[in-house]
Structure 1
Amino acid sequence: MNKIALALILLILPFSLAYTSPRKKVGIVLSGGGAKGVAHIGVIKALEELNIPIDYIAGTSIGAIIGGLYSIGYTSEQLETIVKQTDWINLLTDKVSREKIPFPFKSNDSKYLVSFPFNNSEKNGGIIKGKNISQLLHQLTEGYQNVTNFDSLPIPFACIATDMARNQKEVIRFGKLSEAMRASMAVPIVFSPIYSGQKVLIDGGFKDNLPIDVVKSMGADIIIGIDVQSELSDADNLHSIAGIANQLMLMICQSSLDESTKDI
């Protein structure tokens, strides 16, 4: 979203809410965007400072994680603390903390930067299984692990994943919250998908990186969409496998974003 447009929304919205009876319902939509997703916290903080209520949340990828945690009561300040205190390098690997590794295996542990899951007997599907991030999300959602209807959360929530098996958008509003957030950010090849029955769930950005229609269907009258997706790289930055893979994902996510905002 254009920063000037967002600023105008934040200025006008309190007045529109104050003079509306009954009060219109406000929904926020948080896009995917990797590390740039931290910016979502700043927008939420601005809404808090303006005393603008949030009635519904929908998010994709990092937006699903920020939105999911906010929906169960984390404040913007608490979210900032989580971001600052998390060991992201360890989190984005499958390495177990060295103090938990039996001694005979410690000498070999440091020799390998990353392991590749070529064992077909196990459902891996990615370089990183995502055990550490799944564990963190499980811990952060403690107290809501038995809630299976996301409409029952303090703020009704929905997140977006992509079902590879059916090549379609998966709107997740039921199930285990930590698993739903993990599915929404499962960048293919990098992270193992979430296998749910016949569904193979990966990053929702491939089908809908800014799920405006979802939060609208939840009942929002006023929708604030925050798009933190990166710009496409130029030719000078497309000389590595990582750069090309990232560009490919951005192209797909941009197409899904264009589709979801075409009627706005």
Structure 2
Amino acid sequence: MSKEKQKLGLVLEGGGVKGAYQIGALMAVRELLVEFDGVVGTSIGAINGAIYLEGGYSKLFDVWNEIQTNTVFDLSDEETAALKGLDLKPAILRVMLEKKLGTFKMLESSYEKSQKFFETIVNEEDIRASGKDYGLVTFNISDMQPVEKMMDEIDEGKLVDYIIASATFPIFPPKIIDDKKYIDGGVYDNMPINLLVKNGYDKMLVIRTNVESKQPKRKVEGNPDLFFIAPKEDLGPAMAFSSSRIHAYMQTGYDDAKELMDKGLREFLLARKRTE
């Protein structure tokens, strides 16, 4: 009986502009000519994962080189600071959206601009044509329920909507899909390892945007083989997009991943057991 090579998954944590760290780390991984069989992510991780499946490492790099502060978010330093420290617990989201959204009404145009930008760079047909597994996490505030979906569970024509929903920071207007309101999946699971576990993966590279000491919201199910790449120091606020931060985070991600190559990362990525 022939044996199949063990599938390798990629998990991308949410974190706004800190998603640039993941791009740098993946540039180091690319040097090993490694390709992933499945990718899941939350928020910016869902966007990065979709771009990877659509156009590979090169498109990820090109897209992030295009992103500038005024391209994605037209936020002043004061407005960015106002987004820090918001309580994103699901139990209070409904109240926050009703009260805080009025206070931050001036941010709506920024949200619309960022949404249009990501809609132009994410192509559903190309993602589905990749032949790889893809999943994301968002949160349905109409029903106050988390939504964890793999691509094959999402109706054709709605994949980009769900990707945008996963990355809709709660202070912005929610993404509406089939008359339901959705927001950033980070309020439930910002590092969706379990989504791949549930879909048969037991070996995953997890690229974080937060320091390793910051514990995820969900306990990992089963006993998957995991390797983490994480910043050594806090990268700062998620919404503080700027060209200088993006380039700094990409370089940090690359340097961290390169340092880990001789500490087990290279072997982890290249060694895959055969299964019946």
Match of 1:260 in 2: 219
Q: Which amino acid aligns with 1:168?
A: Q
Q: CA deviation at 1:187?
A: 1.0
Q: Does 1:169 align with 2:165?
A: no
**Aligned pairs (5 A) from 1:73-222:** 74-93=55-74, 127-128=107-108, 130-142=111-123, 144=124, 153-172=130-149, 173=151, 174-175=154-155, 176-189=158-171, 191-222=172-203
Q: CA deviation at 1:69?
A: 0.8
Q: CA deviation at 1:158?
A: 0.9
Q: CA deviation at 1:117?
A: 7.2
SS at match of 2:218: helix
**Aligned pairs (5 A) from 1:53-64:** 53-64=35-46
Q: CA deviation at 1:160?
A: 0.8
Change (3 A) 1:157 1:128: same
Q: CA contact under 8 A between 1:58 and 1:158: conserved in structure 2?
A: yes
Could you state the TM-score of these two structures normalised by the residue count of structure 1?
0.62
Which protein has greater RCO, CA pairs closer than 8 Å, 6+ apart?
A: 2
Question: Percent identity of the aligned residues?
Answer: 25
Change (3 A) 1:202 1:230: farther
Q: CA contact under 8 A between 1:210 and 1:260: conserved in structure 2?
A: no
SS at match of 1:186: coil
The one-character-per-residue Cα deviations of 1:182-229 (angstroms, maximum 9, x if unpaired) are 11111112x211112342111111101111111122332311222212
Q: CA deviation at 1:132?
A: 1.8
Change (3 A) 1:44 1:219: farther
Q: Which amino acid aligns with 1:39?
A: Y
- In our comparison, the structure showing a higher alpha carbon Rg is 1
Change (3 A) 1:263 1:228: farther
Q: Which runs of 5+ in 1 are unaligned?
A: 1-19, 95-115, 119-123, 233-253
Q: Which amino acid aligns with 2:208?
A: D
Q: Which amino acid aligns with 1:139?
A: T
Q: Does 1:30 align with 2:8?
A: no
Change (3 A) 1:183 1:28: same
Change (3 A) 1:192 1:157: same
- CA-based RMSD of the aligned residues comes to 3.1
Please give the alpha-carbon distance, in whole angstroms, between the structure 2 residues aligned to 1:258 and 1:131: 29
Please give the alpha-carbon distance, in whole angstroms, between the structure 1 residues aligned to 2:135 and 2:32: 24
Match of 1:44 in 2: 26
